[in-house]
Structure 1
Amino acid sequence: MSGIPVSAGAWAGRALGERTVAYTERDAILYALAVGARPGRLDLVFEDRLRVLPTFGLTLAQWAPDILAEAGAFDARSVHGSQTLEVHEPLPRSGELTLSARVGAVWDKGSAAVFEVVVECRQFAATWSIFAPGSGGFGGDRGPGKAATAERGEPRMLTLETAENQAALYRLTGDRHHIHIDPEASARIGQPRPILQGLCTLGAATIPLADAAGAHPADLTRLAGRFSGPVVPGDRLEIRSWSDGDFDVRRDETVVIDAGHVEFA
């Protein structure tokens, strides 16, 4: 980089490179345990019967938003705003994925910018939306607004129990940000205790959502969610799920995942 500040809008469409990432059955099982799979779920935690959770692919692609951060597109104030995942085919039990990454749209929210980081491979396409305070005001499109909530019937209520060691376990899948393990680091963002990774909460929610739909969590074809509040490991969460696949996740009265949507084959 030249050292000259780059307007946020100038990042739109930039290639972030290609990477081949290898993993083993052990990695896929560790991920399943990290998002709350129970020991009795042999289809998720036993190599002889293993079906890989599609959200595991997000851990293999985390390098892409990290590259954009390292390139100086946004600073440490940025947060992971939302995530989407489109599944094309099942992940193998082990092997290699060739991933290509690029910056998608960059939206101008005035005081902030929203960067979309798109990662694609044969098995899936995923988009990170990164909310970056201080990077807006470059004269770009504001992007789509929040969709109006449609009239829906009563939701199905599901329970999602998180474990006290869950953030520490999930760190071993790749997200080693200090706010998920070190109380001093989490205190700097106003959280007295380390918080659970948003992608861990989102991935964990797919298991009870699949069970409630009579599906297998490895049959996930589409997932979306916006991260709207913190979760502390050990929290008991409540999922509200509707028949059209929409859902949200609440911690007491606080919505921690909003605008959720899930589909299974």
Structure 2
Amino acid sequence: MTDTADWAGRPLGEREVGWETSDAILFALAVGARAEQLDLVFERDLRVLPTFALTLAQWAPDVLGSAGAFDVGTALHGSQRLEVLAPMPASGSTLMRARVGDVWDKGAAAVFEVVVECEYVRAMWSIFAPGRGGFGGERGPGRAADPEGEPIATPVVDVAANAAALYRLTGDRHHIHIDPAAAARIGQPRPILHGLATLSTAALAAAEVHGASPADLRLLEGRFSGTVLPGERLTVPVWADGAFRVDTERGTAIDGARALFA
């Protein structure tokens, strides 16, 4: 197996990805867009949710796992960052380039950064890989500080019972999101919602609090600290500076989060 530190900076290739209006609409519906939000769900004046780009870039962390950087059976999606560079058209294609960013040494584990860039977005996955630490590298940044003061609003979001079944049609078809037996193998009572779906759903709620269009998202980031089950009720405390958190009755699902809008 390649030494952990040697993965830093490695190219992961490039891929031309394309989409139709129906793909963008399906994504919006899967993450909770309402039928009356016509600019998100009606092709006539469609504005593509920026987080849709993350479904088109999912191949990049998969390439790194397939190359043997970490055990795909134990690695976890630790956090996500998305910078929006330009609006995506309702349909089209773009060339995405991927590389490994920094690789941090957390002692018992390593964190691999996967960076994907195209003309519309710059995205970064942080993959937490148990058993790959202890190589003498830097620990990297710590957890973001908790928001100061009280949230300006705490919207409640009811996740649809079929949310994971819908979201997996956008590209991430891992069995833990649909198969009860696969979910049980990772200690979950039933299939779980994709972390990126939860992050997109929370961004919709945050946009409403700030009086912004979700399509005007400019930056989104968050750390995945727990799971969400389809059909659950979420609370999303939102702060004036863009910070937010996602909570379930079982605990916090996303923290260290921020959404900024134009």
Q: Structure 1 residue 44 and structure 2 residue 44: aligned?
A: no
Question: Of 197, 204, 209, which residue of structure 1 is paired with 2:206?
Answer: 209
Shift of 1:252: 1.6
1:139 alignment partner in structure 2: 136
2:191 alignment partner in structure 1: 194
- Work out the percentage of aligned pairs sharing the same amino acid: 61
Q: Helix, strand or coil: the match of 1:240?
A: coil
Shift of 1:61: 0.3
Report the Cα distance in structure 1 between the residues aligned to 2:208 and 2:102, rounded to whole angstroms.
Answer: 35
Question: Of 3, 28, 32, which residue of structure 2 is paired with 1:32?
Answer: 28
Shift of 1:154: 4.0
Report the Cα distance in structure 1 between the residues aligned to 2:145 and 2:217, rounded to whole angstroms.
Answer: 25
Q: Structure 1 residue 263 and structure 2 residue 260: aligned?
A: yes
1:121 alignment partner in structure 2: 118
Report the Cα distance in structure 1 between the residues aligned to 2:102 and 2:167, rounded to whole angstroms.
Answer: 29
Per-residue deviation, residues 107-135 of structure 1 (Å, max 9, x unmatched): 00011000000000111100000000011
Per-residue deviation, residues 164-199 of structure 1 (Å, max 9, x unmatched): 100000000000010000010000110020000000
Instruction: Output the TM-score relative to the length of structure 2.
Output: 0.98
Report the Cα distance in structure 2 between the residues aligned to 1:46 and 1:156, rounded to whole angstroms.
Answer: 29
1:112 alignment partner in structure 2: 109
Change over 3 Å in CA distance of 1:208–1:23 after alignment to 2: same
Unpaired stretches in structure 1, ≥5 consecutive residues: none
Q: Helix, strand or coil: the match of 2:221?
A: strand
Shift of 1:250: 0.1
Report the Cα distance in structure 2 between the residues aligned to 1:79 and 1:141, rounded to whole angstroms.
Answer: 20
Letter of the 2:249 partner, please give it.
D
Shift of 1:150: 5.0
Q: Helix, strand or coil: the match of 1:156?
A: coil
CA RMSD of aligned residues (A): 0.9
1:167 alignment partner in structure 2: 164
Count of residues paired in the alignment: 261
Letter of the 1:20 partner, please give it.
E
Report the Cα distance in structure 1 between the residues aligned to 2:38 and 2:57, rounded to whole angstroms.
Answer: 26
Report the Cα distance in structure 2 between the residues aligned to 1:176 and 1:249, rounded to whole angstroms.
Answer: 23
Change over 3 Å in CA distance of 1:78–1:254 after alignment to 2: same
Q: Structure 1 residue 184 and structure 2 residue 181: aligned?
A: yes
| Farther-moved stretch of structure 1 (139-148 vs 221-230) | 139-148
| Farther-moved stretch of structure 1 (201-210 vs 81-90) | 201-210
Report the Cα distance in structure 1 between the residues aligned to 2:56 and 2:250, rounded to whole angstroms.
Answer: 33
2:63 alignment partner in structure 1: 67
Letter of the 1:53 partner, please give it.
L
1:93 alignment partner in structure 2: 90
1:82 alignment partner in structure 2: 79
Change over 3 Å in CA distance of 1:204–1:154 after alignment to 2: closer
Q: Structure 1 residue 229 and structure 2 residue 226: aligned?
A: yes
Shift of 1:148: 3.1
